[in-house]
Amino acid sequence: MNAHLEIRKTYKLYVGGKFVRSESGRCLPATSRKESLLDNYCHASRKDLRDAIVAARGAVDGWARMTAYLRGQILYRAAEMLQNRATELTREISRSTGATAARAKAEVQLSVDRLVYYAGWTDKYSSVFGNVNPVATPHFNFTVPEPTGVVVALAPGEPSLLGLVSVLAPIILSGNAVVVIASERYPLPALTFAEVLATSDLPGGVVNLLAGKPAELAPHIASHMDVNAVVDATGRAELGAVLQAGMAQNLKRYAAVALAPADWFTPAAEDPYRILDTVEFKTAWHPIGL
């Protein structure tokens, strides 16, 4: 029997609903916890980041105008598609991180559960966090949360899939569009998850997924004038300092999610107050009719 040449996959970036190579042409080797070569993946550049932000800005208005019920149904559909590819994602996690098959399977299932959990919040968070305010004039006064716009999220290093899903879902459920920087150490599960999103009903551009070196992209994230907020779940103090120093120049919102790897598997990672990290509260007055 003739031996076949092994062809290694090159995982692409996910921008505007399409899988693209980096404009720089750069690829990086993805290695396992034991440093064995797995596959290759495209390395996002500053231009790729800009393209992803443009795609997110183009998608955010249509996504925010959808009914909360419809956004919830779309997130639920993404959970269905993730469950359908659970075997593949389990393998990706196991070969990347060295986790046992049982541990990797549990991470995938919890990722499915977390998408379903946040799907249920799409039509509830406004009632829970909004308010009817008492005022001393003949008016109704309402405070309601609205999406802030384009958000850049930096996923934690571990767990590579569950951490990304737990950061992503509370951002987009309110109507935001997001650019996510995947785990630098273990990017393959996140990039495979992009294939799940591409086969769900999520409109192109609502989620854009990049891989590469967060430290290289951080100054450009902080200085970009069309980013409204940044959610930093890396837990890296030096990276957070770079982001906050740059964002102070243009008044972006900054939210840090400081969880240890094990904490992403607990209820601490599904705190609904994370939704408030990327919403703005708007107050409206309406006269009371006589």
pTM, rounded to two decimals:
0.91
Give domain status of residue 90, yes or no: yes
* 195: in domain: yes
Is position 123 within any domain? yes
* 81 occurs within a structural domain: yes
State the pLDDT at residue 286. Answer: 77
Give the Cα-Cα-Cα angle 163, 167, 172 (nearest 5 degrees).
145
Half-sphere exposure of residue 155, counting CA atoms within 13 Å on the CB side? 32
Within a domain: residue 2?
no
Strand order in the sheet with 37-42: 10-11, 37-42, 27-31
Tell me, what's the pLDDT at 3?
66
Contacts of 271 (CB under 8 A, 6+ apart): none
Would you give per-residue pLDDT tens digits along the chain (290 residues)? 566 677 788 999 999 999 999 988 889 889 888 888 899 999 999 999 999 999 999 999 999 999 999 999 999 999 999 999 999 999 999 999 999 999 999 999 999 999 999 999 999 999 899 777 777 777 777 788 899 999 999 999 999 999 999 999 999 999 999 999 999 999 999 999 999 999 999 999 999 999 999 999 999 999 999 999 999 999 999 999 999 999 988 889 999 998 999 999 999 999 999 999 999 988 787 788 75
Angstrom distances, CA of residue 9 to CA of 50, 146, 202, 208, 256: 25, 40, 25, 20, 33
Range of the domain at 161: 10-287
**CATH number for position 159:** 3.40.605.10
**Is 4 part of a structural domain of the chain?**
no
* pLDDT at residue 288, as a whole number: 83
- For residues 182 and 234, give the distance between their C-alpha atoms in angstroms, rounded to a whole number: 10
Q: Is 225 helix (H, G, I), strand (E, B) or coil?
A: coil
pLDDT score recorded for residue 184: 93
| Number of domains within the chain | 1
The predicted structure's pLDDT at residue 249 = 84
> Is residue 274 included in any domain, yes or no?
yes
Answer whether residue 3 is part of any domain.
Answer: no
DSSP letter, residue 254 = E
Q: Which two tokens stand for residue 25?
A: 């042409």
Give the pLDDT confidence score for residue 6 in this predicted structure. Answer: 74
